[in-house]
Amino acid sequence: MEAQTKQRATRKRNAKQSSKPKRPTPQKEQNSVPQIQILEIGSVSPDPVQPRKTFDAQSLEHLAHSITEHGVLQPITVRKSDDGYIIVMGERRYRASKLAGLTTIPAMVRDYVDTEVLEVQIIENLQRKDVEPTEEAEAIQFLLDRYEPGEIAKRLGRSENYVRQRIKLAGLIEGFKAFVRTGEMTISLAVAVALFEPDEQQMMLDSLEGDFQGHRIKRMIESRTYDLTKACFDVTDKTLVTKAGACTLCPFNAANQGNLFGEGKMICTRTSCFENKKTKTFMQLLKRVKKEGLKLVPNISKYWVDEERNQWVMAQMEKEGLEVHLTNELDILKQPIEPTLENIKEEHRHYEYTEEELAEFLSEALESFTEKKEAWDNAIDHGFEKGILLETDTYLTQAIFVRVREETNQGSSGAKSLEKRKMSECTPGEQIIKINAREMRKKQIENNNQFKEVVDMVRDTDYINRKKPLSTDEMVAISISLFENNIGFYSQREHFKDFFGDDSRLSHEELVARFKENFKKETLYKLLRFLLTRQVHLGESNHTNDLTNRSFYVAMQSFYNDKISVIDETYAESRQKREARIKERVTVLEQQAKAIED
């Protein structure tokens, strides 16, 4: 590995010292035409510093099958070495030939100097259709030593914007590149991360604890400052993240940067460090509650359980062997705060109450406080246990007493609710209900994921740079988006009373279709196209239950129908197989249920 690194460095240094030719012309190419030779395949070796690192196994198998039937149709290019020959171009054909069991391979032997070899390999690799994005970025970065971005774009048949995007991507640290290679991280998100300095990228990566979390990365990019007075950790702690030290002494604390935000405010301007400290604090909390036998309660209700950040918190708790309960399953007591007249005045500051009325409010609040204080003081005697309530966005905590709520069915004292019972505890009829409920939830989550995949795909293209006039579908989508997301409830009824007309009996699909039919075209600018891709909702909303999302989905089909169809077909195939299995199972259960009734 060290030898390869030195060899690569030498080639790069030589490349800088050489002049920039109009094109990479191998030595002697103009004076002689190399003859095709048949070489022993054992005498040929891949170049250890070849810029291409990834080879698709299935594609190689297909090529090997073709070579078995038809032979190697295009010879590889090699150069002489002390031990035989080293491949310059054609390593994929070489690998496939070995898979096919060939003992010889056709080749053209050429003479190159070191600087020419790597450049020829890079340009040849970059002209492939299946180049892995991070490898492509590294290769284009190498070519910058000899060519301007515009010249590179011409040689590769790419746009200059494309080349410049890949140049930015080259600044991504290895840990994030791994997420790009696995397909978890989109190119647009990767480029946004690459704009940060390497050490800050490393802090961002550390805060993920080894798991890709797109929502947290986006939050670190979008939220560039944090109020340190509201941090979940001790800002004077020097050991939480050793390299960063204490926030009170940090140069990225605005209070230490010439009072940037006024009044000596402690504002963190290094988001990745703040997020890393938050994560470290959370992981320490998990170990503490486990050691002390406390019940950790993430502030998550059943309506928000599928949010990515909530899923990650619950997953980390389960890894530590901690039981996870949603807040709607628990009785929670928070430590009461004794009210004061100042608190009452602040609470009712927008109303003109008399002193007597405020005093009466205070008296009522004190009575309520006394009751809550008594419940707090005697919580252990009433089946409560000590716990900690965790806010999943800020990781702020507060001490609580908590008790698992006993779920009962009407008329069945002590019986578990249907959703709490295991499948083996249910009758066939009840199993059908549970199966159908689960399937409905799976479809909802599946629709969310499907819609998110389409949105991410569109955002990763050059959609906003299109010069063609907006389509009717796009104008409908942005109009509905602006109506739903930027106009308040009362303004909608005051100024847009007949925007949709009578929509009480129409589905979302029908409503979008009718709105389109009556829509009046007008010019919208590139900014609106950009806003359109940001107006859709992800998470619980998708293209089947949200007007904005549905209209966006329809609009995108006119541009990316083939890609969306591939996504649709993938989900449809999986759904059809699952529904077929469920149908068979439900049929059997229906027969069992009928037998019990008879």
pLDDT of residue 304: 83
Asked if residues 54 and 38 have their Cβ atoms less than 8 Å apart, the reply is no
Q: What is the pLDDT of residues 393-437, one digit of tens each?
A: 899 999 999 998 865 334 444 445 666 667 777 788 878 887 887
Is residue 188 assigned to a domain?
Answer: no
Lowest model confidence (mean pLDDT) among 327-336, 369-378, 430-439, 519-528: 519-528
**Of 107, 135, 170, which residue is a domain's last?**
170
Residues forming a β-bridge with 37? 107
C-alpha distances out from residue 41 to 38, 45, 84, 85, 103, Å? 9, 8, 10, 10, 5
Is residue 196 assigned to a domain?
Answer: no
pLDDT at 36 over 50: yes
253 and 304 part of one domain: no
502 and 565 part of one domain: yes
Average pLDDT in the 198-209 region? 86
pLDDT at 579 over 80: yes
pLDDT at 280 over 90: yes
CA-CA distance, 340 to 98, in Å (whole number)?
84
pLDDT at 547 over 90: no
pLDDT of residue 235: 93
pLDDT band at 527 (very low <50, low <70, confident <90, very high): very low
CA angle 22, 28, 32 (to 5 degrees): 120
Q: What is the pLDDT of residues 76-95, one digit of tens each?
A: 888 888 888 888 778 888 88
Q: Which domain holds residue 333?
A: 293-405
**Of 292, 307, 341, which residue is a domain's last?**
292
Average pLDDT in the 358-379 region? 90
Q: In terms of pLDDT, which residue wins out, 258 or 63?
A: 63
CA-CA distance, 531 to 28, in Å (whole number)?
55
Is residue 216 assigned to a domain?
Answer: no
Residues with Cβ within 8 Å of 69's Cβ and at least 6 positions away in sequence, in order, are none
C-alpha distances out from residue 78 to 220, 251, 374, Å? 47, 54, 86
pLDDT of residue 61: 86
pLDDT at 299 over 90: yes
317 and 231 part of one domain: no
Is residue 185 assigned to a domain?
Answer: no
CA angle 344, 350, 351 (to 5 degrees): 80
What is the helix (H) or strand (E) element at residue 375, kind and residue range? helix 355-377
Question: Catalytic residue at 517?
Answer: no
Is residue 521 assigned to a domain?
Answer: yes
pLDDT at 232 over 90: yes
pLDDT of residue 16: 42
pLDDT band at 1 (very low <50, low <70, confident <90, very high): very low
118 and 261 part of one domain: no
336 and 236 part of one domain: no
Instruction: Find the CATH number of the domain harbouring 83.
Output: 3.90.1530.30
Of the chain, the percentage scoring pLDDT greater than 70 comes to 78
**Token pair 């510093």 in the structure block, residue:** 49
391 and 469 part of one domain: no
Lowest model confidence (mean pLDDT) among 137-141, 493-497, 539-543: 493-497
pLDDT of residue 496: 60
pLDDT of residue 122: 66
Q: In terms of pLDDT, which residue wins out, 422 or 275?
A: 275
Average pLDDT in the 498-513 region? 74
Is residue 442 assigned to a domain?
Answer: yes
pLDDT band at 215 (very low <50, low <70, confident <90, very high): confident
From 29, 40, 69, 91, the catalytic residue = 91
pLDDT at 31 over 50: no
pLDDT of residue 153: 83
Asked if residues 28 and 112 have their Cβ atoms less than 8 Å apart, the reply is no
Q: What is the pLDDT of residues 95-152, one digit of tens each?
A: 899 999 999 999 888 776 555 555 666 666 665 556 778 888 877 877 776 778 888 8
108 and 9 part of one domain: yes
Average pLDDT in the 510-527 region? 65
pLDDT at 51 over 90: no
pLDDT at 484 over 60: yes
Average pLDDT in the 374-391 region? 93
Of the chain, the percentage scoring pLDDT greater than 90 comes to 16
Select from 459, 460, 449, 470 the least CA-distant residue to 542: 449
pLDDT of residue 333: 93
CA angle 196, 198, 202 (to 5 degrees): 100
C-alpha distances out from residue 99 to 61, 76, 78, 213, 434, Å? 8, 16, 19, 38, 51
CA angle 306, 422, 327 (to 5 degrees): 40
pLDDT of residue 523: 36
Q: What is the pTM of this model?
A: 0.46
313 and 287 part of one domain: no
pLDDT band at 390 (very low <50, low <70, confident <90, very high): very high
pLDDT band at 272 (very low <50, low <70, confident <90, very high): confident
How many domains is the chain built from? 4
Is residue 204 assigned to a domain?
Answer: no
Q: What is the pLDDT of residues 144-175, one digit of tens each?
A: 767 788 888 887 777 887 888 888 888 899 89
Q: What is the DSSP string of 51-111?
A: S-----HHHHHHHHHHHHHH--SS-EEEEEETTEEEEEE-HHHHHHHHHTT-SEEEEEE--
287 and 333 part of one domain: no
Lowest model confidence (mean pLDDT) among 320-329, 488-497, 523-532: 523-532
pLDDT of residue 50: 64
**Of 109, 136, 170, which residue is a domain's last?**
170
Average pLDDT of every residue of the chain: 79
Average pLDDT in the 191-209 region? 84
570 and 435 part of one domain: yes
CA-CA distance, 548 to 220, in Å (whole number)?
26
User: Coil, strand or helix: which one is 386?
Assistant: strand
pLDDT of residue 128: 59
pLDDT of residue 569: 87
297 and 285 part of one domain: no
Is residue 517 assigned to a domain?
Answer: yes
CA-CA distance, 288 to 296, in Å (whole number)?
10
pLDDT at 182 over 80: yes
462 and 565 part of one domain: yes
pLDDT of residue 24: 42
